């Protein structure tokens, strides 16, 4: 980290996308604002919204290449029964 800029991502071996908490909250707010979705909430570390929404693709630049994560790549249908 140099100043307030983050220049590296640590691979945890997790299958989930893991980003710095410095960017997470803003990413979530921007994603829902871009999609025009106001019906969502953040509870116990999980962002919850309707599964029927068309969520936008997210793009990450890694080693100069853009990687796309489509809405269906990061949306998990959980109906409350585990």
pLDDT given for residue 11 in this prediction: 59
pLDDT given for residue 71 in this prediction: 87
Does residue 56 carry a pLDDT above 50? yes
Environment class of 69 (CB within 10 Å of its CB; exposed 0-12, middle 13-18, buried 19+): middle
This prediction has a pTM of: 0.62
Q: What does the pLDDT look like over 4-47, one tens digit per residue?
A: 776 665 556 666 667 777 788 888 889 899 999 999 998 777 88
pLDDT given for residue 54 in this prediction: 86
Q: Return the domain boundaries, the chain.
A: 1-82
User: CB neighbours of 19 closer than 8 A, spacing ≥ 6?
Assistant: 9, 27
Phi-psi region at 28: left, alpha or beta (left = phi > 0; alpha = psi -120 to 50): alpha
Give DSSP secondary structure letters for 44-69.
TTEEEE-TTS-PPPEEEEETTEEEEE
pLDDT given for residue 82 in this prediction: 46
Alpha-carbon radius of gyration of the chain = 14
């Amino acid at each position: 980290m140099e100043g307030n800029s983050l220049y590296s991502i640590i691979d945890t071996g997790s299958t989930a996308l893991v980003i710095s908490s410095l960017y997470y909250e803003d990413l979530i707010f921007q994603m829902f604002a871009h999609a025009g979705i106001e019906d969502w909430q953040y509870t116990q570390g999980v962002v919850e919204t309707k599964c029927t929404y068309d969520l936008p693709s997210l793009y990450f630049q890694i080693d100069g290449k853009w990687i796309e994560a489509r809405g269906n790549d990061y949306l998990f249908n959980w109906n409350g029964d585990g």
